[in-house]
Amino acid sequence: MRIAVRLMQLTPVYALCAVALCPQVPLNDKTDDMHNGRFWNGMPTGLTKTTYIMGFMDALPICSLGVEQDPKSPPPAYILLQLTHSRVTIGEYVETLDAFYSEPMNRPIPVMIAMNWVRLKANGASEAELKDYEAKARVLSSQ
């Protein structure tokens, strides 16, 4: 529990770093209140994107704290952690997201959804499966 308290104390630090490091992000940087590819492409490369991915991964376990759940279902943190893939490095996430968002049609897609696309790719999804996921994400992001 001490770790959870410490992580909750560090959350504002991550938020302040993100705000300080991302001053030139476009106004339409969110889709359904989630940062999207315009936000991603507006960030300077290198440390800023790396910090964003690290903050995202560190925040996932915190998201489940204090959430009531059905004892028969997996814990919320487990479900959220499925968005990341242990064999994918943070640098690979950055490179793959940069490539994903180089396609203008993908820019409205939230970063969290694109990170799941990276996970699918790392798990060996076929090109057809990836294209199908991408098409569905585009439709959802345009509504």
Mean pLDDT for 72-92 is: 66
* Sequence ranges of the domains in the chain: 2-142
pTM, to two decimals: 0.71
How would residue 89 be classed by pLDDT, with cut points 50, 70 and 90? confident
pLDDT in tens, 35-60: 999 999 999 888 899 999 988 887 77
* Distance in angstroms (rounded) separating the CA atoms of residues 69 and 61: 14
Mean pLDDT for 19-35 is: 70
Question: Does 91 score more than 50 pLDDT?
Answer: yes
How many CA atoms are closer than 13 Å to the CA of 128, on its beta-carbon side? 0
* Distance in angstroms (rounded) separating the CA atoms of residues 37 and 106: 7
Question: Does 111 score more than 70 pLDDT?
Answer: yes
Q: Which residues pair with 36 in a beta bridge?
A: 110
Residue 106 tokens, joined:
């993908």
